[in-house]
Amino acid sequence: MANLTQKYIDIVKDRYPNEPEFLQTVEEVLTSIEPVVEAHPEYIESGLMDRIIEPERMIQFRVPWMDDEGKAHVNRGWRVQFNSALGPYKGGIRFAPNVYPGILKFLAFEQIFKNSLTGLPIGGGKGGSDFDPNGKSNNEIMRFCQSFVTELYKYVGPNEDDPAGDMGVGGREIGYIMGQYKRLTNQYDGTFSGKGTENGGLYGRTEATGYGIVFFAREVLKHFGETLDGKTAVISGFGNVAWGTTQKLEQLGAKVIAFSGPDGYILDEAGVTGEKVDYLLELRASGKNICAPYAEKFAGAKFFPGEKPWGVKADLYIPCAMQNDIQLEHAKQLVENGARYLIEGANMPTTNEAIQYLQAHNVVVGPSKAANAGGVACSCLEMSQNAQHIVFSAEDVYAKLEGIMVNIFKQIEDACDQYNLGENFVAGANIAGFERVAKAMMWQGLV
C-alpha cells in the first residue's frame, strides 16, 4: 500500500518539481491516509486519487495598477479552485511578495481537508498576488484591490467561489475588493467574507481563528486529563491569529510568555496581557516592528533580536506566523525543553521532518488543518448570514465556533480509534478530512 500512495507523491514531484510547499502537504496527507485507501480500493480504481492531487481549475491573470506618483506597475494574480466536492470553493486571498502558484496550491490543498473537518458545505480554494502591501498608501492599496477583482470577479460568486482574507488582506482590503465587485456586478451577494460588520461582516470573525485554536488546544489537553488553567504558552507572530489566541488563552487561565515578530522575539514571564496586548495592536497597525518597542516600554521584557522563540521553556507552543516556521533544529529545541504540546496556528508551520521528530519524542502535535479551522468555519457562517439577510451576534458566533472545534477534535479521536493511530492527531485529522471528501467525490462520479 505504501507503494500506491508513493505513486501519487511521485506524480506531484514529477509535475511540479519547483513547488516544494505543495509537495510537502501532499506528502503529509497521502502518507497519513494509507489505511483508508487500503480499505477502499475503489479510490484507486475510480481515479479518485489521481483527481484529488490536481486542482479542478487554476486561473492566472495580470494586475496592472498605478502608484501615487503616477507610475504603472504590473503584478500577477491567481485563484486556485482545487476541489468543490463538498460545496463552493472557500479559501483566502493572500497578498505577499513570496506568493506564487506552489504556495497557493499548498494552501488550497490544505483547505480542502480543513474545510471538510468543519462539517460545513464548502470546498477548498485559495488565491492571491505577489503584491506587497507593506509601505503602500491607502489609495495605492485601493487601486490595486480594484484592479485585482476586476479580473477575479468573473470566476467567483456566492455559489461558486467565496474568497476570504489571508495574510496581507484584512478588512480594509476585503472592503475595497467587495466595493469593486459590487460595482461590476450590481450584486450585494456576500461573495467575499472577512468584511467589516457595516458591510455584512460577521461579529467575532477577526478573533475567530485564534479563539478556535485555543478551543482546540483545550480539547487536546482534556484528552490527556489536563486543563489550560495555569499553563504558559509561546507563540510566533502577532497578527490576528496570534492576537485572538493570546486573548482566549488569558480568558481560559493560561498566559503567553513569549511571542515573535520580524525583528526577533520577546520573553515576558509576567505574561502578555491587558495593556500589553493593546500596545502590540497599535504597533502592528503602524507597520512598525513589534518586539523592540515592546521591550522598551515594558520593564522585565527581554528582547532577543533575530531569533525565534522555540528555545523558551513553556507548557504549550503555538506557531501563528508562516509555513515551515518550525524546522528540525527547532523541534530539537522543543524536545530539549520537555515540550508536551505543539498546536499549529499557522498553515503548515512545521516541516514534515520536524513533525516526525516531535512525535517520535512524545510531543503531541495538533495539526493546523484542524486547529485553525475556526477561521474558515466563521467565514462560512458569514456566508450563511449574508444569504439569509440576518445578523448573528458575537455570542452566537462564539457558541457556534466552540461547537465546531469540539466536533473537529471528536472526529480526530474517532479516526485515531478506528485506525489504531494512538494519539497521532496529524494522521487522524488527515483521515477524517479525506474520508468526507472522498465519499462525496465517489457519489458525484468521474468529474
Please give the annotated binding residues for substrate, written as ranges: 90, 111, 114, 165, 379
Identify how many contiguous H helices and E strands the chain contains and give both numbers.
18, 12
Known binding residues: 90, 111, 114, 165, 209, 240, 379
Stretch (H or E) spanning 359: helix 352-360
- Pairing state between β 57-66 and 72-83: antiparallel
Beta bridge partners of 258: 234, 267
C-alpha cell at 120: 460545513
**What is the C-alpha to C-alpha distance for residues 136 and 114, in angstroms, rounded to an integer?**
32
The residue among 396, 367, 370 whose CA lies nearest residue 382 is 396
List of residues 6+ apart from 166 with CB closer than 8 A: 91, 92, 93, 94, 107, 126, 128
Q: Name the one residue in this structure whose C-alpha cell is 479516526.
A: 415
Q: Are 289 and 254 contacting, i.e. CB atoms less than 8 angstroms apart? A: no
Known binding residues for NAD(+): 209, 240
Burial label for 251, CB within 10 Å (0-12, 13-18, 19+), is exposed
The residue among 411, 350, 386, 351 whose CA lies nearest residue 113 is 411
Ramachandran angles phi, psi of 52, nearest 5°: -75, -20
Q: Name the one residue in this structure whose C-alpha cell is 532577543.
A: 304
Specify the amino acid at residue 211: Y
Select which of 126, 255, 276, 369 is catalytic.
126
Q: Are 167 and 201 contacting, i.e. CB atoms less than 8 angstroms apart? A: no
Beta bridge partners of 91: 163
Ramachandran angles phi, psi of 65, nearest 5°: -155, 165
- Pairing state between β 232-236 and 89-95: unpaired
**What is the C-alpha to C-alpha distance for residues 344 and 74, in angstroms, rounded to an integer?**
35
The residue among 130, 83, 87, 85 whose CA lies nearest residue 111 is 83
C-alpha cell at 241: 491569529
DSSP letter (8 states) at residue 350 = B
Active site residue 410: no
Q: Point out the residues that are catalytic.
A: 126
